[in-house]
Chain A
Amino acid sequence: AQTVTQSQPEMSVQEAETVTLSCTYDTSESDYYLFWYKQPPSRQMILVIRQEAYKQQNATENRFSVNFQKAAKSFSLKISDSQLGDAAMYFCAYSSTGANSKLTFGKGITLSVRP
């Protein structure tokens, strides 16, 4: 079974600075998807960024980028120029390919942004 580990329960970053959130996973599959989801306080869970395992290039979405290390099974999220609105809980998630795929979530990390 696949597992996703987020070992840091909380992190804090100064506004306008850069922060990296860590995630590791375990799988025996060669092709899969990885995701970072953001859950602001009392608000809807939204997708931040997605990475296909077969792609070597790291995904980027504006201020958000990932460092995908397939051999190390590591998938960290970098947030550049942090903003107050980035404060949220962030979940790393794994999904296998195929019709019966489901998401496996990590425990999440709470990010606070200091003004």
Chain B
Amino acid sequence: EADIYQTPRYLVIGTGKKITLECSQTMGHDKMYWYQQDPGMELHLIHYSYGVNSTEKGDLSSESTVSRIRTEHFPLTLESARPSHTSQYLCASSALSGYQETQYFGPGTRLLVL
């Protein structure tokens, strides 16, 4: 399996709290992604980055923000969590160069906002 890590794996938190979901990869990949996935449902791209200091919003509007200060690290932050943010968040990475590009996924963070 690919070397991409997410912490925490599970998080239960109260409304209004600030949270940061961590994602790190040790493969030196330039591209990183955040997806939101409700149980048994499709994935929605919410943020992506093509390299350090590069971040873009994805197809699904999200109140979260991301940063990319280091190649290996792509944290996602919610300034004020709400019950509507309850979901699973998947991080992925892929190489910018190379003809065959495949995204590798982390184990995900399951977030429950009470």
Contacts and interface: CB of A to CB of B under 8 A. Distances in A.
Do A and B truly interact?
Answer: yes
Nearest to B35: A105
Contacts of A97: 99
Contacts, number: 47
A44 B100 contact: no
A95 B33 CA distance: 14
B74 interface: no
B106 A102 contact: no
Interface in B43-75: 43, 45, 48, 50, 58
A105 B41 CA distance: 11
Given A100-B50, A102-B45, A107-B41, A43 B107 contact: yes
Interface residues of B, number: 23
Nearest to A105: B43
Given A45-B92, A100-B50, A101-B101, 16 more contacts: A33-B100, A33-B101, A35-B102, A44-B108, A46-B105, A50-B100, A50-B102, A89-B40, A91-B43, A97-B99, A99-B96, A102-B58, A103-B45, A103-B103, A107-B41, A108-B41
B92 to A, nearest CB: 8
A99 B98 CA distance: 9
Contacts of B50: 99-100
A44 B92 CA distance: 11
